[in-house]
Every structure is written in C-alpha cells, then in structure tokens.
Amino acid sequence: MATGELTFPVVDESALPSGFVVTSSGRVSGVRHPGEEPYDDSPFSHVDRNRIDRTLTEATRRTRILWTIYIGELGAASADRARELHSTLPRPDESVLIAVSPNEKSIEIVGGDAIGHRYDDRVAQLGASAAVSSFQRGDLIDGLVSAVRVMAAAVSPVRV
C-alpha cells in the first residue's frame, strides 16, 4: 500500500440500503430521505470523532507515543483485561492504552515498556485524574481528550 492511499473495508453492496453505492475507491456513498433513520451508526457525532482524531494525531506526532483509546467492556478484573488489550496492539511497547468501560464506570491506563523512562505511573495517574473529573461531569469525549492532552504534555520531549 502506497503512502497516502486510502483503503476501506470490503462492503457487500447487496446489503446496503436503498440509495447507497460503493464507489470505485471502495468508499460507501449514500443518501437518505428526511425522516428516515440515519445510516451513521456511530455512537458519537462527527464533531466528537474529529476532536478525538485531532487530539490523538497531535499527541502522537508530538510525543512519538502511540496513544490508543478503547471504549467497551473491561470486566471485573479490569486492570488485567486492559493489559491484555494493550498487548494486542500493533506496537504495544511504544503505545499507551486508555481503556474506558462506561457501564462499569472504570478507566484503566496502560503504557508500554519501551517508553517507561518517560511514561511512568505518575503520568498515567495524571491522565486518569483528568479523565475521571470530566467523566464525573458526564462528558466522555472531553475526559478522553483532556487525558491524552495532559499526558502528552507531561511526558518529557523526545530526545533526538
């Protein structure tokens, strides 16, 4: 795959609703009538998703740490589950995983070993505190954004 090339998951065209088509690049393009159920099935608005995307991109560029966010079930042993999820990342040693379970009201942050000299427990704790204070106010996206920002600011600048 060339740099800048866009790839999209393979979509079964016959399963798409009326008014939708798979374009030559593989992207799905569609229209809907006013009053119909929206096709966008993401639980977050595009404004929220853009905000997360910008935050992760900026933080990753600035710190050379792969910041990753997971939202979903963590179970009773949430810390172990978060470590397990962290180990499934493409480059776990250079990644920080922020795992949030909205149903269990818990957050787990796990950092990779290769960045341990910069990203220690103190920084992780800063991120968890920032996230929890926003979560208590009922704002999930705001909490995630501030957690990534505060941790990215707290890790020392990269030594080139």
Partner 1 sequence: MTIWETVLVYLGAPLLITIVMAIWGLTAHVVKPKYYTLGDEWTGGTVWWGAVDEAPWRAHGTGRSIEAGVSGGAASGNW
The rounded distance, in Å, linking the Cα atoms of 140 and 116 is 27
Q: In angstroms, what CA-CA distances link 155 with 65, 121, 145, 146, 152?
A: 10, 11, 16, 14, 6
Q: Which of residues 11-30 bind partner 1 (CB under 8 A)?
A: none
Annotate 115-149 with b (16+ C-beta within 10 A) or e (fewer): beebbeeebbebbbebbeebbeeeebbbbbbbbbe
| Residue of 24, 35, 76, 157 that binds partner 1 (CB under 8 A) | 35
Q: How far apart are the C-alpha atoms of 102 and 131, rounded to whole Å? A: 12
With CB under 8 A as the contact rule, the residue among 25, 29, 50, 57 that binds partner 1 is 57
Taking the least distance from each CB to partner 1, the nearer of 7 and 14 is: 7
Based on the shown chain and the rule CB under 8 A, indicate whether residue 80 belongs to the binding site for partner 1.
no
CB of 63 to partner 1, least distance (A): 10
Give least dist CB 13 to partner 1, A: 23
The yes or no reply on residue 150 touching partner 1 (CB under 8 A) is: no
Based on CB atoms, which residue is closest to partner 1, 13 or 91? 91
